[in-house]
């Protein structure tokens, strides 16, 4: 069994925050695993359910079986030109701005830059894209997603986490400005966002090993992932300065970074997530 697999591609932008999408991908098809549903596959690959239904010619009740091949729409991107806004781009492809912002995990005020690649909703056809600055995504099937720089980020495989009785420490003291769960309009926060002054010390929620420390994953700015000995993972995004590196062991309560506004946010805050195996859980349930 391989010791390392690609996980932790991070897709940002839920109300100025972000969520960790562990299993995103740009493959042309996926194989149904035990426990999969049409809903879980749509969330995993960030594809609307209606597009999965249409491309696979499904009919109600949309029953899946283990080993079934599910086709995924080919991903297309719009290259932002000078003077364009999210609103004008949405009009070009006749899609609503909510769908366009959701698939790109953008939050208001939807700031764009020239040359930025925007993922188009799966409902946009190749014909609609003709004449626009569109780049097609690779069609090679893969469960290992790539970042905008085509660099893969690897983290050791995480076994199912044990039940946790001990609480994590609050990484910072501040005001929770975005909670865990659905935020409305198809948006979801897999963690919480905590507002605090720029430069506030961010502390490790528990002892562990730094699995990632960098800024290669678009939207999260300076990001730190810590793998804990019991199989749990905590994530700390939008940092200003980082004081740890990959592979470094950290103690519970150790200063690992300072609060910043890097990535997709414009005000100093920390995006904090807690994961047990693949699953994101509400951090508030595991904090004192």
Q: Is the per-residue pLDDT at 205 higher than 60?
A: yes
The better pLDDT of the pair 95, 245 is held by 245
Q: What is the pLDDT of residue 123?
A: 63
Q: Is the per-residue pLDDT at 11 higher than 60?
A: no
- CATH code given to domain 25-71: 3.10.350.10
The answer to whether 11 touches 159, Cβ cutoff 8 Å, is no
In whole angstroms, what is the distance from residue 235 CA to residue 224 CA? 6
Q: Give kind and range of the element (H or E) at residue 175.
A: strand 175-178
In whole angstroms, what is the distance from residue 229 CA to residue 197 CA? 31
Report, in this order, helix, strand and coil percent for the chain, each rounded to 5: 10, 35, 55
Q: Is the per-residue pLDDT at 156 higher than 50?
A: no
- Could you read off the pLDDT of 172-188 as tens digits, one per residue? 999 999 898 877 766 77
Q: Is the per-residue pLDDT at 16 higher than 50?
A: no
Provide the percentage of residues in the chain whose pLDDT is more than 70: 73
In whole angstroms, what is the distance from residue 222 CA to residue 220 CA? 6
Tell which CATH classification among 3.10.350.10, 3.90.1010.10, 2.60.120.1440, 3.30.70.920 matches the domain 76-136: 3.10.350.10
Plot region of 221 (φ>0 → left; ψ -120 to 50 → alpha; else → beta)? left
- Sorted by where each begins, the domain ranges of the chain are 25-71, 76-136, 158-286
Q: What is the pLDDT of residue 124?
A: 66
Tell which CATH classification among 3.40.50.2300, 3.50.50.60, 2.60.120.640, 2.70.70.10 matches the domain 158-286: 2.70.70.10
- Could you read off the pLDDT of 89-139 as tens digits, one per residue? 888 888 878 878 877 878 777 788 888 888 887 666 544 554 454 444 433
Q: What is the pLDDT of residue 80?
A: 87
3-state secondary structure (DSSP) of residue 283? helix
- Could you read off the pLDDT of 255-264 as tens digits, one per residue? 999 999 998 8
Q: Is the per-residue pLDDT at 65 higher than 60?
A: yes
Q: What is the pLDDT of residue 278?
A: 67
Provide the percentage of residues in the chain whose pLDDT is more than 90: 28
Q: What is the pLDDT of residue 125?
A: 53
Domains 25-71 and 76-136 share a fold: yes
How many residues in total does the chain contain? 288
The answer to which of 212-216, 217-221, 240-244 has the lowest mean pLDDT is: 217-221
The answer to which of 20-29, 54-63, 171-180, 197-206 has the lowest mean pLDDT is: 20-29
Q: What is the pLDDT of residue 224?
A: 94
Q: Is the per-residue pLDDT at 211 higher than 60?
A: yes
Q: Is the per-residue pLDDT at 206 higher than 80?
A: yes
Q: What is the pLDDT of residue 242?
A: 97
What rounded mean pLDDT belongs to the chain?
Answer: 75
């Amino acid at each position: 069994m391989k010791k390392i697999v690609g996980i932790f591609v991070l897709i940002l932008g839920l109300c100025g925050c972000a969520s960790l999408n562990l299993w995103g991908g740009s493959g042309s098809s996926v194989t149904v695993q035990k426990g999969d549903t049409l809903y879980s596959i749509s969330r995993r690959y960030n594809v609307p359910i209606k597009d999965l239904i249409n491309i696979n010619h499904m009919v109600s009740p949309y029953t899946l079986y283990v080993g079934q091949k599910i086709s995924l729409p080919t991903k297309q991107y719009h290259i932002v030109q000078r003077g364009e806004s999210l609103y004008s781009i949405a009009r070009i492809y006749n899609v609503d701005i909510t769908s366009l912002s959701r698939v790109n995990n953008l939050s208001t005020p939807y700031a764009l830059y020239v040359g930025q690649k925007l993922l188009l909703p799966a409902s946009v056809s190749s014909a609609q894209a003709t004449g626009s600055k569109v780049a097609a995504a690779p069609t090679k099937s893969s469960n290992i997603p790539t970042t905008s720089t085509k660099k893969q980020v690897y983290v050791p495989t995480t076994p199912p986490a044990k039940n946790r009785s001990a609480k994590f420490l609050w990484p910072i003291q501040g005001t929770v400005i975005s909670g865990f769960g659905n935020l409305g309009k198809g948006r979801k926060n897999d963690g919480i966002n905590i507002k605090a002054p720029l430069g506030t010390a961010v502390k490790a929620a528990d002892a562990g090993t730094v699995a990632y420390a960098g800024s290669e994953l678009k939207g999260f700015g300076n990001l730190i992932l810590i793998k804990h000995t019991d199989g749990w993972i905590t994530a700390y995004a939008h940092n200003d300065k980082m004081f740890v590196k990959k592979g470094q062991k950290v103690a519970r309560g150790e200063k690992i970074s300072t609060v910043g506004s890097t990535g997709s946010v414009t005000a100093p805050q920390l995006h904090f997530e807690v994961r047990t195996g693949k699953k994101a859980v509400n951090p508030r349930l595991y904090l004192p």
